[in-house]
Chain A
């Protein structure tokens, strides 16, 4: 006996069946959470982010810019709650490191978004239009690729003064090249894929093809690259700060703290070690997460 299913129920059952299937992303998530290094990194990074936010809010007993003239270059101590000591000007190192971490993370995220916007647009246009336009656009990227960009960024910083928004834009504007290459490659490859043709032949709408086939396939490498981009940007910012071109005192970033710490390292090694270790841990976590994501989304090399 056949049961008669009314259309509404049928739809419900179908959607249930669709939910039960494991998508590419479910698989990726499972693989990612099996990766111990990546999970540990996510937890540590989460803690660091929370600490950085608390640092920005100034909940710690010391402000990052309060100068205690009688407590210059104190090693880490419980006295007066200078848990990580004070710097050569008598400011609490813990408060400063947290603020610096916040600034570095913020630069990392914002500049990455800038590079993402430029890179995805450029790469998608080149890959989609193809032909001569594609060649020209990618040749331009090739030329830019091998230039010592840091020189232009340095000149930019000098020209427009040390403005934190400019740091975002300048770093983002020079780090979009790889993104453009990745997106272009993916777009080109996807355009000719059988499953896209099959979907077209089956009469799936253009929008549905883009949503179901193009975006998920481009997204994987882009997500991975973004995760690996953030540490690169953090490095670029600290590089500028180290040369004295980054954020301005009394505001600080990890690069700036390392730079001043390096100057005082013989008298007060903790002013170098604390920000250096913070930066190392942050970069480690971001790199492990990025690697984990790559292996999860594209497990070719495992």
Chain B
């Protein structure tokens, strides 16, 4: 197990290097720079500024300098928020994004597994039909439609939940309700569909019949035997799911005006704030790689047929 984790971490390093390199050089190819203002500044000041941030160097040298800083945990200064480091900005935004994302994932996994299992156990009944219709709604209504509509109906018309900002002191935890629901909904739907399909397959298998035949109670068969095998496909979906939640959070943070990390990203890219863009990419890429690793480990724990120790 340890060797497996080590091997995966070693693969992760070149992966991150490639990701950062691609993002870095793509940003550099983009026309314009961080100091292109509407009113052009004098050439001398511009050059001084570029030199100050090392932007007058050849691009490959800039990349090496950036990576050297990154290894020491230095994300560099933001080029647009002049009094702040990228690390500070990420430190402000990341907790918000993580909280919303983690809550959404939790809701999605718990509700999705539950609904999918119910649908499978009551296959072709009205309960199954209801769950599958709900799942169809979930996959067909993206966060960017659901978010504004929920905000309009529950927030503006009915005034049940606050719709914007993250004002805990004024509204308490209810500010989280709409963003988390919106972000979780597509994932609940996808997980419920996956769970239903795999559960149906499992409860038709021979060892479940054996378990029933030897007289185990229905609940013991489901909980001890069927569920454990049926969640396996879900575990391998966790990696892609976390990537999807992260992309979704870009929209959510805009719809509900949350001060998260995704909210910076688009503006930073448009304004050529190279270091901030890179910082967000690095943090999210690392996060996703780690989550994938965790998913693989859970998979190996749940599935005795997979061994990573060889």
Residues of A within 8 A of B (CB): 143, 145-152, 154-156, 158-159, 231, 235, 238-239, 242-245, 255, 258-259, 261-262, 265-266, 269, 272-273, 276, 279-280, 283-284, 287-288, 291, 301
Least Cβ–Cβ distance between A286 and chain B, in angstroms: 8
Task: Tell me whether chain B's interface is mostly helix, strand or loop, or mixed.
Answer: helix
Which 6 A-B pairs rank lowest in CB-CB distance, beginning with the nearest?
A262-B148, A150-B247, A159-B30, A283-B140, A146-B239, A158-B269
The listed residue (A151, A265, A279) touching B284 by CB distance below 8 A is A151
Q: Check if A280 sits within 8 Å of B145, measured CB to CB.
A: yes
CB proximity of B145 to chain A, nearest CB, Å: 5
- Minimum Cβ distance to chain B for residue A188 (Å): 19
- Most A Cβ at <10 Å: residue of B144, B240, B251: B144
Question: On chain B, which size bracket covers the interface?
Answer: 35 or more
Residues on the B chain within 8 Å of A151, using CB:
23, 265, 280-281, 284
Assess the A231–B140 pair: CB atoms within 8 A: yes
A159 with B29: CB separation less than 8 A: yes
For A244, list chain B residues within 8 Å (CB): 266
A contact residues around B254 at 8 Å (CB):
242-243
CB distance from B129 to the nearest CB of A (A): 11
- Besides A154-B265, A159-B31, A231-B140, 9 other A-B contacts (C-beta < 8 A): A146-B242, A154-B269, A238-B142, A243-B254, A243-B266, A262-B151, A283-B140, A283-B141, A284-B136
Which of B68-76, B81-89, B210-218, B285-293 forms contacts with chain A?
B285-293
Among B144, B151, B288, which residue has its beta carbon within 8 angstroms of that of A148?
A: B288
The reply to whether B26 and A159 contact each other, CB–CB distance below 8 Å, is yes
B91-146 contacts to A, CB under 8 A, are 136, 139-142, 144-145
Question: Do the beta carbons of A280 and B140 come within 8 Å of each other?
Answer: yes
CB distance from A271 to the nearest CB of B (A): 11
Chain A: minimal CB distance from B67 (Å): 18
Confirm or deny: B229 has a beta carbon within 8 angstroms of a beta carbon on chain A: no
Q: How far is the CA of A273 from the CA of B145 in the complex (A)?
A: 9
From A145, A259, A273, A284, give the contact of B140 (CB < 8 A). Answer: A284
Q: Is B177 an interface residue (CB 8 A)?
A: no
With a cutoff of 8 Å between Cβ atoms, the chain A residues found around residue B142 in the complex are 235, 238-239, 279, 283
Known: A262-B255, A287-B136. A145 touches B148 (CB 8 A): no
Task: Write out the residue numbers on chain B whose beta carbons fall within 8 Å of the beta carbon of A284.
Answer: 136, 140
Question: Does chain A have a CB within 8 A of B226?
Answer: no
Q: Return chain B residues, CB-CB under 8 Å to A150.
A: 247, 250
What are 15 contact pairs spanning A and B, CB under 8 A?
A: A146-B239, A146-B291, A147-B19, A149-B243, A149-B247, A154-B265, A155-B26, A155-B269, A158-B30, A235-B142, A238-B144, A239-B142, A239-B247, A243-B266, A279-B142
